[in-house]
Structure 1
């Protein structure tokens, strides 16, 4: 009789485990469907949760998955609402999880100097994922709408700052840093670096390293030379200041058009996109106008924006 009860207990345990697998699979399908649903579909209320204390083991697992489904649904709905608010026909595509091991970055062919062991200079991060990286240079325009827009749309980006343009309002960039943006080095005064000797280049780069550390608490690992111009002294100076990599760009975004480095005038996995902190006084539109244009281009081509520092 005891052997019979043991068999029944084992059979019951296997039944519960099977129920968990069936319910888990059904809810996972529901999660994927919810993440890709249209805005109208997302307005449907979530299924009511079972009363506390009345869940068998299988329903407990279902409840956890159901909570995950609800979080995905709410996040998706928030992105759709933010896209509508900021004038985007489609919400930005969510980036995949960053790699556990960052890819090896090497200097792009044709961008080398004679020196060895210097920070790599590159325009594209080696990856097969359909992601690109958005970077914003200098710091002239300090539009509060940009901070709100990027935060609400959850678009990652990196800033490369020049002190002569940001020193009148470090607080603006402190708010940006608080949203998870990494603040990188773009020299003190934005000079044409190959026209300076080694010592002056080092003052430009190390001086900005010191200011970013003092104002924002972190010494940058990334440096972008003004205009994308550099020589071997630039890279030697950058290395001496703690710089690990020198990202340039594959394309550039303006408020009314895109410019391309590559012959096919297209995006590629891992491309770095450059734009600037500019306003209507400098180009045909505002910072949000520029973001609308570049995100329309990125999303229409099936790409997501990832955070550069997660890969470099």
Structure 2
């Protein structure tokens, strides 16, 4: 489990969770700007349009495990946690041709049984986050709002119905903050 990747490089990582809102403008923006992103998908909100995520995958977005149904894993038995994680591994491999080695527990909630279950499913790393990005703000662990090398930025696949803006608005905010502080966005899997 990690909240920050150990590196001296002036890079941060953009990660997007769940998969409920499938904004075609996000695909266009990531294609044009070549922004590296790591997605953590839950099948219950992804299965209605695997094609959207195949398009993201073609752009180099890595597709990782965020469980089948997005439960608080701490409330489940070891076997039920294992089902949530391992079955999602199987679905992601079937649909996208790659078995993920990264896993993010929903809500960032986990226990030792979660980590044990994840390992048994082939997970090698469990990245959490240090910042959370929205279209109108970035909430930071740092009181001054400063980024640090290796910070992991969390956001979600959301749209105007749930946010005061769009996914491209959120990406613009992240890029502006990172650029203003002298950081580049890097691919999480390249540093773990």
Report the TM-score range of the alignment, normalised by the length of the smaller protein: over 0.9
The corresponding residue for 1:297 is 177
Residue 263 of structure 1 and its aligned partner are, at CA, apart by 3.9
Aligned match of 2:165 in 274, 280, 285? 285
The corresponding residue for 1:191 is 71
The corresponding residue for 1:169 is 49
The corresponding residue for 1:8 is none
For the pair shown, the structure with the greater C-alpha radius of gyration is 1
The corresponding residue for 1:273 is 153
1:150 and 2:30 aligned: yes
TM-score (ref. length: structure 2): 0.98
Residue 311 of structure 1 and its aligned partner are, at CA, apart by 1.0
Deviations 1:234-285 (A, max 9, x none): 0000000000000000101001111112344310001110000000000100
Q: Which ranges of structure 1 fall in alignment gaps of 5 or more residues?
A: 1-120
The corresponding residue for 2:135 is 255
- Where does 1:45-60 land on structure 2 (aligned, <5 Å)? none
The corresponding residue for 1:137 is 17
CA RMSD, 1 decimal: 0.7
- Where does 1:51-200 land on structure 2 (aligned, <5 Å)? 121-200=1-80
User: CA separation in 2, counterparts of 1:129 and 1:200?
Assistant: 39
User: CA separation in 2, counterparts of 1:122 and 1:299?
Assistant: 24
Deviations 1:69-122 (A, max 9, x none): xxxxxxxxxxxxxxxxxxxxxxxxxxxxxxxxxxxxxxxxxxxxxxxxxxxx11
User: CA separation in 1, counterparts of 2:142 and 2:86?
Assistant: 32
The structure 1 segments of at least 4 consecutive aligned residues displaced by more than 3 Å after TM superposition are none
Deviations 1:4-60 (A, max 9, x none): xxxxxxxxxxxxxxxxxxxxxxxxxxxxxxxxxxxxxxxxxxxxxxxxxxxxxxxxx
TM-score (ref. length: structure 1): 0.61
SS of the residue corresponding to residue 268 of structure 1 reads: coil
- Where does 1:198-209 land on structure 2 (aligned, <5 Å)? 198-209=78-89
Query: CA contact under 8 A between 2:11 and 2:183: conserved in structure 1?
Result: yes
SS of the residue corresponding to residue 169 of structure 1 reads: helix
Residue 294 of structure 1 and its aligned partner are, at CA, apart by 1.2
User: CA separation in 2, counterparts of 1:258 and 1:250?
Assistant: 10
SS of the residue corresponding to residue 28 of structure 2 reads: helix
1:308 and 2:188 aligned: yes
User: CA separation in 2, counterparts of 1:284 and 1:229?
Assistant: 26
SS of the residue corresponding to residue 178 of structure 2 reads: helix
User: CA separation in 1, counterparts of 2:159 and 2:176?
Assistant: 19
Deviations 1:198-220 (A, max 9, x none): 00000000010000000001100
Query: How many pairs are equivalent?
Result: 192
